[in-house]
Structure 1
Amino acid sequence: MSVYDFKVKTSSGFTKSLDTYKGKLLLIVNTATKCGFTPQLEDLQKLQERYEDQGLQIIGFPSNQFAEQEPLKDGEITEFCAMNYGVNFPIFKKIDVRDQDASPLFTYLAEQKPFQGFDMTHPTSKLLVSIINERFPHYMSGDSIKWNFTKFLIDRDGQVIGRFESTSEPIDMETQIKAAL
């Protein structure tokens, strides 16, 4: 099995098979427009521009599961990302990325690359962990997605080769992206 076996919904509601990305290096990200990590969209777009000619494709999946930080509707999300951060990579339909209604894609991603903890050197890590432990303690158990802007690197064969938590800045992933290209 690989990510190419999954079908997802575009922000317009059309079904798209991820096998259309065969041969690309994918970076799959769960996003939110009202999150403290939302500015990562700017660096994600920089990575997209820097490496798209070499085969990188970033795709975003908005989710409203984390403190309701994605209140916008699907079309509004795409517009917000483009207008505020210059995003031109695909932003798909808003989905659940954890718990019982989780998208099968994100369940698969989390199974392939277990949670290894947050980068505690990131300036907001302690605050994020404190918020999760206080308000959403069940989020910390298991390998499911813990917060917005969890990023999965997928090789050209559709296999998950990296997981980067919210506290991992996109630019800090550049070495792994270049190595995989």
Structure 2
Amino acid sequence: MTRTLFALALTCLAALPAQALERFTFDSIDGGTIDSADWAGKPVLVVNTASRCGFTPQYDGLQALYDQYKDQGLIVLAVPSDDFRQELSSAEDVKEFCEVNFGLTLPMTDITHVRGAEAHPFYRWVADTAGFAPSWNFNKVLIGPDGNVKATFGSTTRPQSPPITGPIEKMLGARG
């Protein structure tokens, strides 16, 4: 019964018309803004993160994924959020924590809401178009080069696992 419902849900989701990414801006942890218009034609993995979570060690995998594919066009965007009460109190603290503990160089936003009424417009768009809202820290949204949500992943899916790298490699191969 559960498999049947899951298959039906996937079929219904696949039948929905694709709605390409709208233009969004995020406040960058480094100052300035991050503009989704710069993502055109590139795959993007957007991950809501937190510094004090059991999944925080995934920062290593996110950085490794970014290092491996960035020259081919992959963007990995970390979106620190305190929606699950596990983020540090300021963007400056988050930036320092990530640099010192993980050597992060991938793009990061300022601390951002990812759920509910205060969710960033990007996350509201993902909820509206893909029916996905983060249920915990380190949930992942894969946006294709065409600007559509291609897949979503929960916290337990590691950044360098085949469910994530497989589609990314296909997207990057299609660009070449």
Between structure 1 and structure 2, the one with the greater Rg is 2
**CA, structure 1 residues 103+156, in 2 after alignment: closer, same or farther (shift >3 Å)?**
same
Shift of residue 20, structure 1, vs aligned partner: 1.7
CA separation of 1:4/1:55 partners in 2, compared to 1, >3 Å: closer, same or farther?
farther
Name the CA shift for 1:19/1:93 in 2 (closer, same or farther; >3 Å). Answer: same
- CA displacement 1:15-43 (0-9 Å, x = unmatched): 33210222221110100000000000101
The normalised TM-score by structure 1 is: 0.78
Alignment RMSD, CA only? 1.6
Provide the rounded CA distance (Å) in 2 between the counterparts of 1:160 and 1:20: 16
Q: What residue identity is the alignment partner of 1:64?
A: D
**Unmatched tracts of structure 1, length 5 or more:** 115-142
Which secondary structure state, in structure 2, belongs to the residue aligned with residue 171 of structure 1? coil
Moved more, 153-162 or 27-36: 153-162
Is 1:59 the counterpart of 2:66? The answer is no
Q: Could you list the per-position Cα deviations for residues 156-181 of structure 1 after superposition, in whole angstroms to 9, with x for gaps in the alignment?
A: 12211110111111111211211221
What percentage of aligned pairs have identical amino acids? 36
Instruction: Provide, for residues 96-146 of structure 1, a one-character-per-residue CA deviation record: whole Å limited to 9, x for no partner.
Output: 1001111110111233333xxxxxxxxxxxxxxxxxxxxxxxxxxxx4220
Amino acid at match of 2:138: F
Q: Which residues in structure 2 correspond to 1:86-105 (within 5 Å)?
A: 86-105=103-122
Count of equivalent residues: 152
Residue type at the aligned position of 1:82: E
d(CA) in 2 for partners of 1:163 and 1:16?
A: 21
Deviation at residue 3 of structure 1 after TM alignment = 3.0
Structure 2 unaligned blocks of 5 or more: 1-18
Q: TM-score, normalised by structure 2?
A: 0.80
What amino acid is the match of 2:170?
Answer: A
What is the alpha-carbon distance in structure 2 between the residues aligned to residue 107 and residue 145 of structure 1? 11
Pairing 1:15–2:6 present: no
Task: Give the letter aligned to residue 56 of structure 2.
Answer: T
CA distance in 1, matches of 2:42, 2:89: 29
Asked if 1:110 corresponds to 2:127, the answer is yes
Tell me what 1:50 maps to: 68
Q: CA deviation at 1:13?
A: 4.8
Mapped pair 1:146 → 2:135: yes
SS in 2 for 1:170: coil
**1:13–1:52 Cα change, 3 Å:** closer
